[in-house]
Amino acid sequence: MIVAAIASVTSRKMLRSVIYLLFVLIGVAGIYFLIDYNFLAAVQLTVYAGGIIVLVIFSVLLVHHIEMELEMAKLSKKIITAIACLVGLGVFLATIYSTNFNVVENSKTTTVEDIGRGLLSYDAGGFILPFEVISVLLLAAMIGAIIIGKGDKLTKNDDTL
Amino acid sequence: MIAGISIYEIFTLTSILFFIGIYGFITRKNLISILISLELILNASAVNFVVINKYLYPDVLQGVFFSIFIIAVAAAETALAVAIIINLYRQISSVEVKDTEIMKY
């Protein structure tokens, strides 16, 4: 998974880097499967691997020639960024390994029913409000994407009306 | 929890994923590549939410809900970003960051 992630940010060919990203996303879905959140893994596979990857591939194909090579950053900038990232990673890992987590041993399986009840419950700790907000957000994003995508033509129509 | 895998190992994995995303975010010169790096960062954080939920607080489901919300927001954001990129490409015929100087035409 990490190899695929590194490849997806360093590959010079656009389409290949998208496919490497697909491998990373499938790996993440595998982690979800391993810790027994099957619903989340399914959502990850359908939304990310099925939706977002296809969307990105579409935009790559519309915008690029497949064989076009990417322009890369300067070597000095790359090295500086890599060093900064490694320092940040070191800080993260030092913090993580110096913290004592009290892990609860368990082997609970979460069913879809639990998730649905939690998402739609009205009482304290329920997630009904964020759920509705996210649905409105998705609708707004959809309309916005259509309007931006149409762009020119739509505004011209407005002028004539 | 996964038998035989400690929480530290998963945190190490997600931290590495996160910083690979940041590295790509800074070094790539192409809007679509930046979008790909963003997906890496979002995924790392979503995995962290779920793993903390599962390992430390297995009785509640808050981490799962937050991951679902992260996935939904990421999908909305990607759709919008792709629309903007395609519109931009129509106008200036390029998706490189250095050519993107105007926000309003």
pLDDT attached to residue A161: 43
Q: In percent, how much of chain B has pLDDT > 70?
A: 85
Three-state SS at B95: coil
Q: In percent, how much of chain A has pLDDT > 70?
A: 80
Q: To which residue do tokens 């076009």 refer?
A: A68
> Is the CB of residue B64 less than 8 Å from the CB of residue A40?
yes
What is the DSSP track for A62-130? HHS-TTPBPPPPPHHHHHHHHHHHHHHHHHHHHHHHHS---PPP------HHHHHHHHH--STT--HHH
**Main-chain dihedrals φ then ψ at residue A108, nearest 5 degrees:** -80, 140
Query: Mean pLDDT over all residues of chain A?
Result: 79
Q: Is the pLDDT of residue B88 over 50?
A: yes
Select the residue of A2, A31, A59 nearest B82 (Cβ to Cβ): A59
List the single range of A68-72, A153-157, B27-31 with lowest mean pLDDT: A153-157
Rounded Cα–Cα distance for residues B12 and A94 (Å): 10
| B 61-80 residues inside an 8 A Cβ radius of A | 61-62, 64-65, 67-69, 71-80
Domain ranges (residues) in chain B? 7-99
B7-99: which CATH architecture? Orthogonal Bundle (1.10)
> Is the CB of residue A110 less than 8 Å from the CB of residue A37?
yes
pLDDT attached to residue A87: 92
> What is this model's ipTM?
0.83
User: Could you tell me which residue, B82 or A149, shows the higher pLDDT?
Assistant: B82
- Measured from the Cβ of residue A127, the count of other Cβ atoms closer than 10 Å reads 20
A71 and B96 in contact by Cβ < 8 A?
yes
pLDDT attached to residue B32: 83
For the residues B31-44, what does the mean pLDDT come to? 88
What is the pTM (predicted TM-score) of this model?
0.81
Is B12 near chain A, with CB under 8 Å?
Answer: yes
**Main-chain dihedrals φ then ψ at residue A48, nearest 5 degrees:** -75, -65
For the residues A64-89, what does the mean pLDDT come to? 77
pLDDT attached to residue A133: 87
Q: Which residues of chain B are within 8 Å of residue A141 when distances are taken between CB atoms?
A: 76-77, 79-80
Select the residue of B62, B76, B90 nearest A151 (Cβ to Cβ): B90
Rounded Cα–Cα distance for residues B35 and A48 (Å): 13
pLDDT attached to residue A24: 87
Which of the residues A1, A10, A21 would you substitute to probe the B interface, choosing the one with the greatest number of B C-beta atoms within 10 Å? Answer: A21
pLDDT attached to residue B95: 67
Q: Is the pLDDT of residue B41 over 80?
A: yes
Is B34 near chain A, with CB under 8 Å?
Answer: no
Q: Which residues of chain A are within 8 Å of residue B26 when distances are taken between CB atoms?
A: 77, 81
Confidence band, pLDDT 50/70/90 cuts, at residue A98: confident
Rounded Cα–Cα distance for residues B82 and B55 (Å): 36
Helix intervals (H) in chain B: 7-27, 31-56, 62-92
A146 and B87 in contact by Cβ < 8 A?
no
Q: Is the pLDDT of residue A156 over 60?
A: no
Which helix (H) or strand (E) segment holds residue A148: the answer is helix A128-150
